[in-house]
Structure 1
Amino acid sequence: MTRDQAKQEIKSRYADYLQPAKKHGTYICPLCKNGTGSTGDGITVKPGTTHLKCFKCSFGGDLIDLYQREHGATMPEAFAALCERFNIAVDDHTAAPVKTQPAPTSAPATGGAEAQADYKAYFIECGERLTDRAALEYLSFRGISLETAAQYGLGFDPAWRSPQAVKNGRNPPTSPRLIIPTSASSYLARDTRRELTEQERRFAKMKEGAAQLFNPAALTRAAENAPVFIVEGEIDALSIIEAGGEAVATGSTSNTHKLLEYIEEHGTKATLLLCPDNDEAGRRAGRELAEGLQGLNIAHLSVDITGGHKDANEALTSNRAAFIEAVQAAQRSTSATPDSVTAYINSLMAGEIENFRRSSTRKTGFENLDRQAGGIYPGLYVLGAISSLGKTTFIHQVADQMAAAGEHILFFSMEQSRLEMVSKSLARITAQRDISTACTSLSIRGGRLTQAALDAARAYTEAVQDRMSVIEGNFACTVSFIGEYVRRYMSRNEVKPVVIVDYLQILQGEGRQTVKEQTDNNVTELKRISRALDLPIILVSSVNRSNYLAPIDFESFKESGGIEYTADVVWGLQLSALNDDLFTKEKSIIEKRERIREAKQEMPRQVELVCLKNRYGISSYKASFEYYPQFDLFRPTESEDAAGAKRF
């Protein structure tokens, strides 16, 4: 069978490899032995897939991934061992990669429906012109020596025209180009002119052939724990090589998956040093790559060698000596103490401080809350309250206010439909404008579209534009679905959204688990996503029924997973009446219930947000609100903040 068929066959044979656990349909984890005792489920299998998951040691992946982790093997080693174990014969018909001269620079091109061009002769011809004056001047401008350029097969074409454009019947003008091969059938052509028009700048970097990695052979030839830098641009990789390092370029922020696929296929013993471009797209690609490498169990570090410059080449040309020292310092960080605080202070701390500082500008839109919370930071927030107290309405109003302020919001609604959520927004706006003529969300859903409701719809769409998304969970949403949706949204829109999940007790689990285990795992996995993607996730939770007649505290979340220990910020909504002396004394339950009933009948209801835990500032605080449930509206009660909430 083919290699791909063999992989699928291996992945499907997990039951032949693993020992059954006591719980039916689960298996003993060879990494942590989960499933051998009286408690613990062992490894579960996602229904309809070959994806394995151990919630004790957090392993997730297929059988090949598990073998790699268990035996410390590379992907090719694991594949070969499992083929032998299961007596799987793989057809050996894959041609060896064609080498370009003077040196190989990339992996073989993948197949396609259309025959690929063969540029080997063209590369040799361009290589012979590498000593042309224009080529040497450009290399000098970029800080790249002729020796390095020749070693990696670079060339020069003084009158380049895009072969693909010519093939498509166009007649592009000629331009002088540095030719950087990435495979026998692909290359990058960089315009070498110093002065370019706006139109010429658009086409200054042109790729011919399928997108390929630059110099991926560095991954397979690296010795154990040898440092290999991962950058975006080919010129950046050459800059690091010029400084004495080893580097691979993805060619684009959208090509991180190609690097992961290459490593999964060929393996590597190197420690990868991630050096994305110093911009938002680069940082996002760096986070995605780090998460992918973690899943493949590949040693990696994020390092800063640019010294505040946009990329490695700009750093090289600005201060060559400083750049060489930065490269050497980063290489030293892959020693026996790669996680030392000194390495962190020297390479990462300043950037992470700046990211944290920027988060302080992200506000809820309630001035009384923002004044104490400081901002909405990357991390896991939990908002809890008893039923009918407006926890969904509160966080939905926060979402609308943040979207109106420019934040992108992904609101995963497990229980309420998009119609319900949008009608809440419109009812709220009508009440903010004139509560005497306001519409209820129920009347809007019933088709009573008054002029006030129509005006609210126009104002709402103008304010939030396309930044507010409501994703209906339909009681079948999982953490995996949320993570995949968020990553896809970030990739397509190049933003970091605020994620809201409403609510925890309806969020489905994966595999066979008790309700407590499912809840614990979902909280932990959402925290993991918030850290990996560096964004805020706000999780709505119910509280224990036994706490309905007592002020909210951590006991209220006792049945809701490890919230106290996992969440970064824990908020609770409660009726202000719970501050009455009645609830601090041994009074009858009947009296307390009657006071709660009265408080719920008040219009507006007096509600307060209580902060039980805060890793980002004041450890505990309160913010008071008036709640108008018929109009889905919260208003700060403090007089100076009454106009503080965002109006549409």
Structure 2
Amino acid sequence: MEKATLVAECPFCRDRGFDPAGRLTVFLNQDGPFHGYFRCHNRCVPGGFPLWFARLAAIEPAEAPGFDPEREYLHQGAEFPVVNINTEIKQYHDRLTDDLVRDFSAAGVGPQVLDELQIGYNGRYIVYPYFQTDGNCYAARCVFPDRPQDYFWHGDERFAVEEYQIFNIVDLLSCENGALFLCEGENNLLPLKQLGFPGIAVPYNLNFERLDSELFAHLRTLFIIMVNSGESETAARALAARVGYKVRLLQWPAGLPRGYSVWQMARDRGSGFRAAIAAMIQSAKTFSPFPAPQFEHQRFLRRLASEQGSAYAALQSGFCRLDAAIGGIHGINVVGGAPKVGKSMFMIQIATEMALRGIPVLYYDFENGRQKIYQRTLSRLSRMDASMMRRQQWTGPERERYDEACRRMRRMMTTLRVVNDRKLTPELMRRHIDFLRHESSSEYTVVVVDSLHKLPFKDLSERRTGIDAWLRQLEAIRDELQVSFLVISELTRGGDGSYREEPHLGVFKGSGDIEYSADNAMVLYPGDVHQDPAAAGERSNTLWLVASREHSPGPVASYALDYPYWGFVEEGGSCD
């Protein structure tokens, strides 16, 4: 025993034709990830953990620590062809030139590692053989030295597909119940193997995303070390999220260039490479899909501080009684109403008034069209109906009102974006929000959806599930990007075929998720003269708060139609 390491004569060297004086090292530090790992200094057998030792030494598996008789192995049952390229791989290995051996040596990789992994050379390309779980090689990746983008696969093309693109897979089999390195790029594995670590490699970072997570089901710890790039880290994190808590991502020290790798570090650090890798292992934390508690606390305090600021308080509809009833426009606000009751007009007025106050607003319109929205807004701002605007036979005061309305519209359009794209997706909505936030330098955004039932779905026959899926996406966007939503919803007809039913959550059409997703659910309820064309100037709607997470339900206010200027006036409301 030497501290927490056992050193003994290797029991496998003599039978495999190696120096019988070969030494075996076993790591017994119970606090380390490689507790129980053994390796032969002659590399007569691949190193591994107790179950692998039992297999090599023909010991009954049940006598080895960690044996599970009910464990199923993903690699078992694979069918391999009779023909392999083992002989070619041996020939390629024998053709390694002195220059290539010196190049490997500059990264600290000695002949024993090259022999163990059967690295070869075909005269132009370095040959990395991909041995499979049956011990044979059926395909190899051939990479041009110093130009890794120049490569091709040699051998049986069936074994050049992603499923079989695991370099040195024998170490995956030997590390059951133990720890293993996963590298991006075959050459990045070699310096780690020289240090005695077990590991496998995949050729490209895209392989990280596509590896079957069940491959690592029986490991205790998986160290992932990727090339220093955002793409590689993203792909590695995608794998880590699927594999789970056993993953530890090795992070590169700050200041290293993009594309930096284990191979480059081994060349740069020389004898200091072992200490550099040991430091990265020591600092690697168990992967978690959750943010660090300290970061989560800081984020909470930042969000709380922002909600105490003027930008958050400014998210008001402009209708005083509505703002008092729901505390301003925050979260997901669903507004339902009968056809032609004025839902769109109500939302256009709120959206444009907020935009006029400098609040960035995205208006997703699937009902009216961009031109109609702008024309009705101009009519409301100028106090001129459409026929008067078309005649252009105005008095001096009318011209002044019109010109001032046009100036306000021009200012409004710096913060209002109307989108009619009927191929909208949640991802595209997120990008729109990011663009508008960047352009307006604003922390908050308001998104109007007119209407929920007109949002694009993959399959119209599954409208209800599509609506519910959209609501879940809106919840995610609300939380991730601090977005407030105003969403128009259709209503279902009552038992008598009308829309006169007392407002409640069940009146919203086609979605059972509104009651769970909406922070505020409201209904615009028509007055008695709504259907009377002669009483257009007397029409009035009552807005009901049907359900709310934080506010008491009940009638909010009545809104009289501001005929013929395409707007509403809140009755009994005062902002003083």
User: TM-score, length-normalised on structure 1?
Assistant: 0.43
Larger Rg: 2
User: TM-score, length-normalised on structure 2?
Assistant: 0.48
